[in-house]
Structure 1
């Protein structure tokens, strides 16, 4: 059985209202989230999940807010003696700009993207301004995209699940690690979404959907399924991982 370790690398941040993460809760609370690129180490392929921001804001204030260092794409990969051209596979949780701005640098990679996400980036709804088709122009031109149409294993120990919660083509990535099955969520949440505070659980809510979602009921039900399926939940923007070098 192939197992992997997961290395979170912060390649950007956003400062906004916490309600953007926690549906119907904590509006008006300033919050800083890290934007991650995840290096999945193991097997014979060099694998990334998402590629982060092209020009991240690197400041003492942002780093203090998330509790970890912010890297450029090249410097982040260099932590593991990698260059962009060394990457074999990139799996996209979704195609909002902050998750794919460095795609063009990975000239030798195959990109796994759900078909609905590719449709959406070309014809997105006016409510969702986070799509910028230019960021995948080069990988489309170079025919580097592997279109994902159904759930399944793409490599031994790495399975993709369509989770249209935050976007129509979001994909959660399940990864076998020495410590159990990890799930990197295909939607933008923090730890609190999966582990709500007492006052939320008192309302008989087991999870909190993302603050930006395409169907709150389906988001809630899908998050419950993921919680039951995984041993390790890795919310896509959880600040505690900014200070972590290895998961699993």
Structure 2
């Protein structure tokens, strides 16, 4: 474990969605307001941000779903409030995947290196028609813009000591989660492999899923890795915290993270 590394969850807005989009086969017709989390990893060799939230609540409301964002939830302000960083100070941005609510703030980070699974990048260029709205090229910079420096990884990859990316496909083909070794155990920044703890504890896929079998395997993998989890949209995560402890009933024997 690494006593220096801290994980800090930051709220960057809210989406109003049908609750069935969060948990497959449950809660049809129930409206729910869910947070959009960005996460800072503090104390590493580099300043790291995982997922960058939404870019414009008006655009999201017009094209995807109702969206709210308080002034203090704009990512540049949240970074200052929770960890004291400016966007220009961030060295590395890890996108769990390239949906609009996880890459919307990418253009803020003009000095950062961006890390994504190669498979996710490839899929983002030609997604299924039913998922095309979630991928927006003007957000992720598929054109060779000078201030984007992309690093494409293939499978498990160590980013800096104590921080690694782990493939968790299902929600998207190239989805990845981020495992951080901390003094209290492994914090797993899940992205949308798990929208909420219910997905992990009950082993029920998220409602928007590209491949269900892969999603089930990824949820099982989380149970083998994590001590704490930051799900992509769980309102029970406390702002500024390192997420939610994985209940003992959901834990499996720990398996080392490897390719």
* TM-score, L = length of structure 2: 0.82
Alignment of structure 1 residues 92-131 onto 2, 5 Å = 92-128=95-131, 129-131=133-135
What's the counterpart of residue 201 of structure 2? 195
Separation in structure 2 between the aligned mates of residue 40 and residue 163 of structure 1, nearest angstrom? 20
Going from structure 1 to structure 2, the CA distance change for 1:73 and 1:234 (only over 3 Å counts) comes to closer
Residue-pair matches, total = 230
- Asked if the contact 1:97–1:135 (Cα under 8 Å) also holds between the matched residues in 2, the reply is yes
What's the counterpart of residue 217 of structure 1? 213
User: How far did residue 195 of structure 1 move?
Assistant: 2.4
Alignment of structure 1 residues 1-248 onto 2, 5 Å = 2=2, 3-56=4-57, 71-79=73-81, 80-128=83-131, 129-137=133-141, 140-142=144-146, 143-187=148-192, 188-196=194-202, 207-241=203-237, 243-247=238-242
Separation in structure 2 between the aligned mates of residue 116 and residue 138 of structure 1, nearest angstrom? 14
- Asked if the contact 1:10–1:69 (Cα under 8 Å) also holds between the matched residues in 2, the reply is no
Separation in structure 2 between the aligned mates of residue 224 and residue 162 of structure 1, nearest angstrom? 12
User: How far did residue 55 of structure 1 move?
Assistant: 2.7
* TM-score, L = length of structure 1: 0.86
Going from structure 1 to structure 2, the CA distance change for 1:75 and 1:138 (only over 3 Å counts) comes to farther
Of stretches 179-188 and 151-160 in structure 1, the one that deviates more from structure 2 is 179-188
Separation in structure 2 between the aligned mates of residue 164 and residue 70 of structure 1, nearest angstrom? 32
User: How far did residue 137 of structure 1 move?
Assistant: 2.0
User: How far did residue 214 of structure 1 move?
Assistant: 1.4
What's the counterpart of residue 249 of structure 2? none
User: How far did residue 181 of structure 1 move?
Assistant: 0.6
Structure 1 consecutive aligned stretches of length 4 or more whose deviation exceeds 6 Å: none
Deviations 1:135-174 (A, max 9, x none): 1228842251011122121111111111111111110110
Separation in structure 1 between the aligned mates of residue 143 and residue 55 of structure 2, nearest angstrom? 15
List runs of 5+ in structure 1 lacking aligned partners.
197-206
List runs of 5+ in structure 2 lacking aligned partners.
59-66, 244-259
